[in-house]
Structure 1
Amino acid sequence: MDANADEATDIAREGHRAYERGDYDGASYLYRLYRLAADQGDADAQYNLGTMYAVGLEVEQNDAEAFRWRWLAANQGHAHGQFALGVMYERGCGVERNYAEACRWYRLAADQGHAKAQFNLGVMYVNGCGVEQSDAEAFRLFREAANQGCADAQCNVGAIYAVGLGVEQSDAEACRWYREAADQGHAQAQYNLGVMYEEGCGVEQSDAEACRWYREAADQGHARAQCNLGVMYEEGRGVERNYAEAFRWRRLAADQGHAQAQFNLGVMYMMGCGVEKSDAEACRWYREAADQGHAGAQSNLGIMYEEGRGVGQNYAEAFRLFREAANQGCADAQYNLGVMYAMGRGMEQSDVKAFLLFGMAANQGHAQAQYNLGVMYERGRGVRQDYVKAFLLFEMAANQGHALAQRRLGSV
């Protein structure tokens, strides 16, 4: 190495030390240090200068300049520069998006042991972006990154073991890797570990441990963890039952657009559980979830329109919502739609359609639908009269505690 190169390296190191100290009083001086060293070909300085342009630190943010300096560093074999260049190609920052080029640069960095590059390249293999899709190659790369402590990779390795994607399924291994990432504060891994404890998969079932991990993730704003923690508080599992806390956690998740939490909030407002009863608020949250295709919310909002609770009564809207939910296999909606056809409420009365819809719900174990279907067999409405089938359906409903079915059994 010649004298100029030694000087450039010393300058780059001084700039880097100032950067790490957070000494920005002379940030422009920092830029000059990097620029002087970068112009003399120092790869660290080129990479750091690229970073300053990427984030707009004491220079005007400029993706094209960030790309130029990172490219110079990357072409000298600088692993961080190669990784950063891969990110820019993947996102189309400062250069036209090119997944194949992103993968090429990720691979160069990954081959030098760069954990984040290994992780990102693994994601590209999972999605088949820029490379031929390969779960096996993705797992290999995730595993390499995970062994270096990359929390994202550890979480993904856990998820692969949980479903057995290209490896032998192992809940124990899934938990081991989730825990590695969770202990680093990885919210998704904390949530996943909570699920494993709640379900007793790979670990001894423990609602208390499930709550602990859900809370860790929920405190970081993880919406699914917040929603699940709300369920635990409502049901008193792993924590003392507390409807107000259940409502609080669900509201946090709902405000992030989590459909199940929005539905649950609607139910709490509808029932006055943990919050003052409000049909209008129930409808608002049901609508938020229904607009995302949540079948239960569509069904419940349909009931509100049918009964005129919190909204003006509107059979046509109720019918539309019931049908959307029924088409997703929601038994309650299939039953409610059947009632509308049976009663001719908002549309032409049809025993045949009512019978078909009650049958769909009954086949899913819906007790009221089983009872109604039994009545239709008993009376020959929409179907040939058949007392035996009526009896069997009453018996099914009665076994689920349906009082009218229990009383009806003796009269068939």
Structure 2
Amino acid sequence: MKPETVLGIKYREEPTAKLQEWLKEYAAIAAEFPGAEDLAQRLSKRAEKAGELITERNRPEPPSSSHDDMYYIEMAKIMDDMEASFDGDFPLGNEADASFAGCYFSVLELAEIQCGLHHLIVAGRFNGYNFDVLVRKGFLAELYEDWSEAVRCYEGVSTSKSVQEREDECRRKMAIEGKRCYEKALAFMESGEWNEVFAPLNRAADMGNPDAMVDLALARVYGQYGCAKDLQEALTLLRAAAKKDNARACFALCHLHDSGVYEVQAAEAKEMCEKAAGLGDEKAKARLADGFDLRPIREILQEQIDKGNIDALWQMAQLCKKENDETGAAGWFNKAIEAGQVDALLSVAAVYLDKNGGFYNKELARQYLRRATDGGSVQAIIALADSELADTDIPFWQQAAQLRNLEYSEKQPKRKIREQHKKQMAWYRLAAEAGDTDAMNALGMAYHLGYPETRDDREAFLWASRAADAGDGSAMYQTAHLYENGFGTDRDIDAALLLYTEAAEQGVRSAMIRLYEIYTEGLLHIQPDGKKAAHYLWLSGERRD
């Protein structure tokens, strides 16, 4: 890196004033942030060295050397070596980054970036004319390795060649990172480590990897890899991947249409199927032979309704609502309610449970929720459970946690509240038996802490371990705690350590802290490991400057 770039000055410019400005900012950072002191001091020496080199360069050449070719060759080599010594592994430690950022950030901000304090910098607010704000946002996104956000920012500044070059470089990094993360996700799939798939898969999709976008979209459709179901996000991902000419994405959209997802209408499904076939997808080629029903969606839904499909009643109501046909929406909505369609029943129950909506009626709401429960809705079971609470807003598992550290004399809430919590807990058991992991977690905590029912660690372990087996991170932590202490099961430190680790990798902070404690102090045959302890302490965010 050129010494002029280090200080942010022009060639042949006198460096003293700018050098003093840099040294002042480095000193301020070292005083305020002890963790950055060593780097700030190293950067100060680097700046002083750059100032000395610039001063030396600015001096007149010796007359005796004016025609000495060897002098120039030797000096050029010395200067190249000196310039190389300014490069470093800290942010802005290379010529390209330093030159680019120097145009958009102040000396104070540049010093903060170099010392890893870029979270302190405010990019500003974009007003439609100040493109510098977009560039600042883009560069800060790069520092966080959020290449996709950087690209979005740089795309808004099409008039600058240097910004275009940054955008192209970010796209290259996105492709590399996307491929790396997708390969990592595939490795977890192949080894059957399904709980580990989501994080790298989501990262790869964010980086624009089309295959990862398809896999994540399908996970959102079917609720795989610990993903919550989200059809709209799934469609967004598939359509974006289809634009990248991904045959799997194109055919997946066609398949969703065939599966009854009316948001993908026949015309789009046909177009996507043709595109997938053109890209060589054999399934798409076979599907084209069956043809597509290109009738209006209303006509298709009406046909389904005539065949007795009650879900089509709800879909017709939503279609009318989308088309601003309020009368039609209300009519089909009422028919869906009469037929016992679960989404319609949940929707009207939510209206009656809204205390601020003007239609609050708890008993009516419970009637609709019971009907939805009969239709197999776990969401309705949870809503019925929560409706049992008349004198408190605190659910039973939170009440159990709050009572944990109190004296026995303080442990007993009012009898009527305890009875309400018992009723709520009974509903949650039904939800847990239907496969809801949040309900399993709540039961595990309540049984272990002994509220509102009598403590029963076997029940606690049963429900916590079921949720852990389903991939729930919080349940993994609960189960690990039970294994570690032998509550409700045989003590098994190895199983506990494995589950703590899996929970920590899913972002459960309590698991990170417990792993830090275990690797700091050791636990039975688990030996202390300073490196691992430091790793989990850092992940938890505890004790950071």
TM-score, length basis structure 1: 0.46
Question: 1 or 2 for the larger relative contact order (CA 8 Å, sep ≥6)?
Answer: 2
